[in-house]
Chain A
Amino acid sequence: MNSIKETQQEIVEEFALFDEWMDKYEHIIELGKDLPLIDKNYKTDENLIKGCQSKVWLHAELKASKIIFTADSDAIITKGIVGLVIRVFSNHTPQEIIDADLFFIDQIGLQEHLSPTRSNGLLSMLKQIRMYAIAFSTKADA
């Protein structure tokens, strides 16, 4: 099992293959198309993170002290990036997530997708992931 840092490095290496923006987007779109990210039952309003541009659904559950994240988006590029975020954070302990340093989005040149003007729900999703980690960590302590 890779650490959060290792998975991010792996993604950075994967994206290093692409020089062109279009190739990068094509890869993200393929990732978005491939992934059945979330159980239909979890695609609820409760799990909805509403952006101005696109919607993101995020579901979290604790299994054997690790958080399993599943997610989806109605926009395919957002979905592809959401898939990458899930790949990085899912299946880790709350403490590992709280301590993690997120760098892959910057390094593969997708930081613009985190800008508030994009309002695609990604930024809120990252905040939500952290909130889940904090919530689950207090639960684990109790």
Chain B
Amino acid sequence: MNFINSDKIRKDFPILQRQVNGKPLIYFDNGATSQKPQQVIDVINRYYQHENSNIHRGIHTLSQEATNAYEKARTTVLQFINAKHNHEVIFTSGTTGSINLVASSFGKKHIHAGDEIIISTMEHHSNIVPWQMLCEEKKAILKVIPINDKGELLIDEFKKLLSPKTKLVAVTHVSNTLGTINPVKEIIKLAKTAGAFVLIDGAQAVPHTKVNVQELDCDFYAFSAHKMFGPTGVGILYGKEAILNELPPYQGGGDMIKTVTFEKTTYNELPHKFEAGTPNIVGGLGLAAAIDYMNNIGIANIEAYEHELLSYATEKIKKIEGVRIIGEAANKASVLSFLVDGTHPSDIGMIIDKLGIAIRTGHHCTEPLMNRFDIPGTARASFAFYNTKEEIDTFILALERALKMLL
């Protein structure tokens, strides 16, 4: 049963009405960033036109209103991921900012020489490099969970990597390149049994599926607003209260302090301890508006509809000779990565761009994963709930036309 009315939904996204290279835009690069509905754009405009003021520090009405709106946005996020406390929801600059915060503060407190951090083969560079930097600094060891040819994590191999030395497991919920939905609940449970902390990179998961951090029992969960129909430059780090309380602050500045003297500064309480400086206030409000928008459509509806789009596109693309799908996990989000024998993905991307279709080509910031498959990169179409089967039909025709030129 399909509850998505894409005609109605598409009208909410002004950018979907535009043309690119003389053709109606078909936007299949949602894995990179999603488009924004008018409802989110309106919140951003209204803020700067009527509400702009600094938060947490003003005596005047505007500042009070802005503070209330920002803290209400925090509560919206809490409900979205089912966190226990408002102060477990930290506003950051995005997933990368969230992961770097943990690498820095958690690293200072918990990582020592000889400790081990486990990541997976399918991580985005932003869930690899901060841990590499930390390991280098602390003389800790980075271990990597391998995957099978379908692009699924080898859980038995993961079990073998776990030991009393394992301090942290940092894995992605959904792979941006393969679309694989990882069994994070099982991973978290195994890691906990070994006494390790767990961070989940949720950047690609939150736009598609309901996340419940208490049920998952993860220690940290990171995601970005811009991949879930909100603005760029803002994201969330969820962390368990007890763990966050123990960690040293990340950046120093305004808002994160209780008292400052030249001799000694005492730090503010959660969440402000981790939110130095004037935050991206409008970003926080935009994120809350995006969550409201998604809730209105219904996340279960979004998930079901996107799954339908993925199945439809997969079936169609498989009929084209020489197509090889990269990422065939049993449990997949709406990401379709592929290669065509005898062609380079960037050639395909360039040609179909001229036909108004936006896909991503390249290594998708997952170079180690590309090396695992021994490929230079892939072409990737990633779908959102405003995409349609008709657009997939046009994409397939465009792909066939490109291949005729290239082969």
Q: Closest Cβ of chain A: how far from B283's Cβ, in Å?
A: 23
- Say yes or no: is A26 at the interface (Cβ < 8 Å to chain B): yes
Q: How far is the CB of A38 from chain B (nearest CB, A)?
A: 16
Query: What is the CB-to-nearest-CB distance from A37 to chain B, in angstroms, rounded to a whole number?
Result: 15
Residues on B with beta carbons closer than 8 Å to the beta carbon of A29: 347, 405-406
A55 CB contacts on chain B under 8 angstroms = 376
Is the Cβ of B354 less than 8 Å from the Cβ of A22? Answer: yes
A52 interface contact, C-beta 8 A = yes
Find out whether the CB atom of B405 lies under 8 angstroms from the CB atom of A54.
Answer: no
Task: Name the distance in Å between B72's Cβ and chain A's nearest Cβ.
Answer: 37
Chain A residues with Cβ below 8 Å from B361 are: 53
Counting CB contacts under 8 A, is B195 at the interface? no
In the bound complex, do residue B406 and residue A76 qualify as a contact, i.e. CB atoms below 8 Å apart?
yes
Q: Which residues of B contact A76 (CB under 8 A)?
A: 343-344, 347, 406
Question: Are A25 and B350 neighbours in the complex by a CB distance under 8 Å?
Answer: yes
> For the complex, what is the distance from the CA of A61 to the CA of B291, rounded to whole Å?
59
Q: How far is the CA of A36 from the CA of B361 in the complex (A)?
A: 25
Contact present for A52 and B362 (CB under 8 Å): yes
Asked whether A75 and B405 contact (CB < 8 A) given A21-B21, A22-B354, A52-B362, the answer is no
With contact pairs A22-B354, A25-B351 given, residues A53 and B405 touching in the complex (Cβ less than 8 Å): no
Report B-chain residues with C-beta under 8 Å of the C-beta of A54. 344, 346, 376
Q: What is the size, in residues, of chain B's interface with A at 8 Å between Cβ atoms?
A: 17
- Say whether B362 contacts A25, CB under 8 Å: no
A25, B406: Cα distance in complex, Å? 10
With contact pairs A75-B344, A76-B343 given, residues A53 and B377 touching in the complex (Cβ less than 8 Å): yes
Closest to B21 in A: A21
CA distance A25 to B352 in the complex (A): 11
> In the complex, which residue of chain B has the Cβ closest to the Cβ of A21?
B354
A45-59, CB < 8 A from B: 52-55
The 0/1 profile, CB within 8 Å of B marked 1, for residues 76-97 of chain A is 1110000000000000000000
Q: Is residue A120 within 8 Å, beta carbon to beta carbon, of the partner chain? A: yes
CA distance A77 to B405 in the complex (A): 11
CB nearest neighbor in B for A25:
B351
Inter-chain contacts of B406 with A (CB < 8 A): 29, 76
Q: How far is the CA of A76 from the CA of B354 in the complex (A)?
A: 16
B363 on the A face (CB < 8 A): yes
In Å, the complex CA distance between A53 and B365 comes to: 11
- B21, B346, B354, B363: the one within 8 Å of A75 (CB): B346
**Contact A26 B363, CB 8 Å, known A55-B376, A75-B344:** no
Q: A14 — which chain B residues lie within 8 A by C-beta?
A: none
Give the distance in Å from the alpha carbon of A121 to the alpha carbon of B363 in the complex: 15
A 1-26 to B, binary, CB cutoff 8 A, 1 in contact else 0: 00000000000000000000110011
| Residue contact B344 to A25, C-beta cutoff 8 Å | no
Q: How far is the CA of A29 from the CA of B347 in the complex (A)?
A: 9
25 contacts between A and B (CB under 8 A): A22-B351, A22-B354, A25-B350, A25-B405, A26-B405, A29-B406, A52-B362, A52-B363, A53-B346, A53-B349, A53-B362, A53-B377, A54-B344, A54-B346, A75-B344, A75-B346, A75-B347, A76-B344, A76-B406, A77-B347, A77-B350, A77-B351, A78-B347, A119-B362, A120-B346
Nearest 3 interchain pairs by C-beta: A75-B344, A53-B346, A21-B354
By a beta-carbon cutoff of 8 Å, the part of chain B in contact with chain A is 21, 343-347, 349-351, 354, 361-363, 376-377, 405-406
Contacts A22-B351, A22-B354 supplied; 15 other A-B pairs, CB < 8 Å: A21-B21, A25-B405, A29-B347, A29-B406, A52-B362, A52-B363, A53-B349, A54-B344, A54-B346, A74-B376, A76-B347, A76-B406, A77-B346, A77-B350, A120-B346
